[in-house]
Structure 1
Amino acid sequence: MLTGKTFLITGVLMESSIAFHVARLVQEQGGAVILTGFGRALKITRTIARRLPQEAPVIELDVTDEEHLAALADRIGEHAERIDGVLHSIGFAPEGAFNFLEASWEDVSTALHVSAYSLKALAVAAAPRMGEGGSVVGLTFDATFAWPVYDWMGVAKAAFESTNRYLARDLGPKGIRCNLVAAGPVRTTAAKSIPGFERFEESWDDRAPLGWDVGDPVPPAQACTALLSDWFPATTGEIVHVDGGVHAMGT
């Protein structure tokens, strides 16, 4: 369903990452992908890119670097005249941000910059290569609740979800859709960096009416791939939950 389309995919760090499986599914559905990475992770992304069905090009992008963002459209242009969508799979908070009452503004501002503002920054930087029919898809962790251990990253995700709604408002007239997938906990590199993440692992499957496998990143990747496609042409500003149904349960 993606034949002839090209997508920019961020956040491919491991084969266990949701972003890796989005890239894989895009290729299996006939599309092409361009990956991003930066810093020490750039080498890792280039290695992982060779494990896709077809090796994908990798460009350097730090979403907090204004020069990188300004050059993004040109860097994409080295590989494709146009892209049909972008996957935002980026999140980071310093360790101090996982202590709500004691976190410093320095740690909190880093979490908000990388994990929330970057959605706007990435979408705006990539928009010149998209246009009518483009799709921006991001990954979130349901910010409706105050989760154990998540603390300021939870606040950043609330800002991220709000940012998505404003992007949907402002990019809609350009024909660009903006949606999020709220995934249940998946044992990824990002998840392992969250102190106490195992508390989610221990309880999620019991609470999910459909059950939940923290080791399976494919269900949320499938939702992201569908939202990147043309199969949701009138859907924007939405959050699709792929969490086994936990979001709908009272306890």
Structure 2
Amino acid sequence: MTGLLAGKRLLITGVLTETSIAFHVARLAQQEGARIVLTSFGRATSITRSMAERLPQPPQVLRLDVTDEADLAGLAEAVRAELGGLDGILHSVAFAPRTALGGAFLDTSWSDAATALEISAYSLKSLVTSCLPVMSEGASVVGLDYDAGQAWPGYDWMGVSKAALEAVTRYLALYLGTRRIRVNLVAAGFVRTMAARSIPGSQRLEDIWSTRPPLPWDVHDPAPAARACVALLSDWLPMTTGEVLHVDGGLHAVVT
């Protein structure tokens, strides 16, 4: 078997539509030689299973609600049964109540803000620690980010959650380095995924990304971010951890 991820065993979360970055990571990972499992739960499971059938080799879909202690406790054994072990994880899990988005920042309750933070940031720690018993030395964890270095209109408590996600990544990198486990994020530019379209006022974000990056940015193309994820999941960046890799056409680096 050849390919950038030949022989790798990966767990991929967040596959819900063909437009999602996670779906493109799953497809490209298989094309590069990886064996994968997906996760989902509740009403989304049937959607994820449908998406799994559209991959080159339809993988198993494991139940995982990142807020459910029973699901987290059983995840390692479920992975072991399917793959034998784990060489990489893609964290593509995020959610905020509508009351925490769309300009309602000042009025958002702690309960709704806490939901966003738990699912979108703390879940990275929960997912990784649950999988540690089956993770190999040299494994790679990659999460999907959205540049938290500035405030984006309407992004509100999801933006705060992404800032927390970046901090969680750095601390995981610190504490997992002795196991040679790398933890990094890919900060993708705006892509018209289902999650992005659910943000009130997302058209304003789309307009920003359609006109301002120094490299032309296609809001309909998740492939550049997916390729970056696959590169980080491979062995080609063995000494990179705690990093936020921007795949955004360079917008984060310039004033326009």
- Name the TM-score class by shorter chain: over 0.9
Residues 77-124 of structure 1: per-residue CA shift (max 9 Å, x gap): 120111110000010000011111000111100000000000000011
1:161 to 158, 166, 178: 166
Aligned to 2:52: 49
The yes-or-no answer on 1:132 pairing with 2:118 is: no
Shift of 1:205: 2.4
Residues 44-79 of structure 1: per-residue CA shift (max 9 Å, x gap): 001110000111111000011111001000111120
1:234 to 206, 229, 239: 239
Aligned to 1:113: 118
1:80 to 79, 83, 88: 83
Aligned to 1:178: 183
Point out where structure 1 has 5 or more consecutive residues left out of the alignment. Answer: none
Task: Tell me if the contact between 2:21 and 2:226 (Cα under 8 Å) persists in the aligned partners.
Answer: yes
Tell me the distance in 2 between the aligned counterparts of 1:192 and 1:234.
35
The amino acid across from 2:217 in the alignment is W
The amino acid across from 1:183 in the alignment is A
The yes-or-no answer on 1:37 pairing with 2:40 is: yes
TM-score (norm 2): 0.97
Aligned to 2:208: 203
Tell me the distance in 1 between the aligned counterparts of 2:151 and 2:233.
29
SS at match of 1:84: strand
Tell me the distance in 1 between the aligned counterparts of 2:208 and 2:72.
39
Task: Tell me if the contact between 2:35 and 2:83 (Cα under 8 Å) persists in the aligned partners.
Answer: no
The yes-or-no answer on 1:20 pairing with 2:26 is: no
Tell me the distance in 2 between the aligned counterparts of 1:67 and 1:79.
18
SS at match of 2:107: coil
TM-score (norm 1): 0.99
Tell me the distance in 2 between the aligned counterparts of 1:128 and 1:187.
36
> Alignment length, in residue pairs?
251
Aligned to 2:68: 65
Question: How large is the RMSD of aligned CA atoms in angstroms?
Answer: 0.7
Point out where structure 2 has 5 or more consecutive residues left out of the alignment. Answer: none
SS at match of 2:38: strand
After TM superposition, the runs of 4+ consecutive aligned structure 1 residues lying more than 2 A away are none
Tell me the distance in 2 between the aligned counterparts of 1:6 and 1:224.
14
Identity of aligned residues (%): 60
Tell me the distance in 2 between the aligned counterparts of 1:47 and 1:147.
33
Residues 115-174 of structure 1: per-residue CA shift (max 9 Å, x gap): 000000001111111131100000000000011000111101000000000000001111
Tell me the distance in 1 between the aligned counterparts of 2:106 and 2:50.
39
